[in-house]
Amino acid sequence: MGCVQSGDGDPRPGGGKLGNTATVGVQDPLPTSQPKTVDPRLPFENYRQLFNLKNSWKAVSRSMENTAKECLIRLFRTHPEYRSLHKGLDSIDSEDDLRENMVFEEAAMYFFTTLDEVLGFADGKVDMAIATLQSAGGDYYAKLPGFEPAYLKDMEQPFLDSVRDTLGDRFNESTEQNFRRIYEFCVSHILN
């Protein structure tokens, strides 16, 4: 055991003495890889869009709770009628009190945690991503009393605005398009 001393046998399988010219200088060919592609069921034209979205999402996920709460607050500002879909929220007047309420937190986080799961499945497990979204539609949104698809459609702009606030200067036109695409993908599968 130990180090191979000069003049010892070649440590490669089938190797001989170091002076063996048949194996010296021969390099294994570098593996060739195909460029990554995106599953055609996803709303992206190329893998770079998905890659950039996932990188942006990492920054959002570090402040997911605050971003999710801000999204739902913005939705309630423009559509106060949606408060009544969530038990007990229609009686809370203060935004600060809403942010501290557990029902509000659960409602705010549900879409964001679902999207987090979907992005985790986006590379090679799109069937799982779609199943997660369909489950969210049946297990959560369909059980909200009085739920209408307009709820999720009306939440798109508050979602984009809250993500924009979280990302700051990192949010550009391309980032917005990628988030818009994934949002629409999620909503279409939640509602089906």
Residues 117-126 have a mean pLDDT of 95
Mean pLDDT of the chain: 89
> How many other C-beta atoms lie within 10 A of the C-beta of residue 46?
11
Instruction: Answer yes or no: is pLDDT of 185 > 60.
Output: yes
| 90 pLDDT tier (thresholds 50, 70, 90) | confident
Which residue, among 19, 120, 140, has the nearest Cα to 61 in the 3D structure?
120
CA distance 142 to 135: 10
In this prediction, residue 33 carries a pLDDT of 76
4-8, 69-73, 107-111, 158-162: the lowest-pLDDT one: 4-8
| 71 pLDDT tier (thresholds 50, 70, 90) | very high
Instruction: Answer yes or no: is pLDDT of 19 > 90.
Output: no
In this prediction, residue 20 carries a pLDDT of 52
Please report the DSSP string for 81-122 in residue order.
Answer: GGGGGSTTGGG---HHHHHH-HHHHHHHHHHHHHHHHHHHHT
Instruction: Provide, rounded to the nearest whole percent, the portion of the chain with pLDDT above 70.
Output: 84
**Prediction pTM value:** 0.80
| 24 pLDDT tier (thresholds 50, 70, 90) | low
Instruction: Answer yes or no: is pLDDT of 56 > 90.
Output: yes
12-16, 94-98, 137-141, 188-192: the lowest-pLDDT one: 12-16
In this prediction, residue 58 carries a pLDDT of 97
Residues 46-53 have a mean pLDDT of 96
In this prediction, residue 32 carries a pLDDT of 73
Higher pLDDT, 33 or 86: 86
Q: How many residues does the chain have?
A: 192
Q: 160 CB contacts (<8 Å, ≥6 apart)?
A: 176, 179, 180, 183
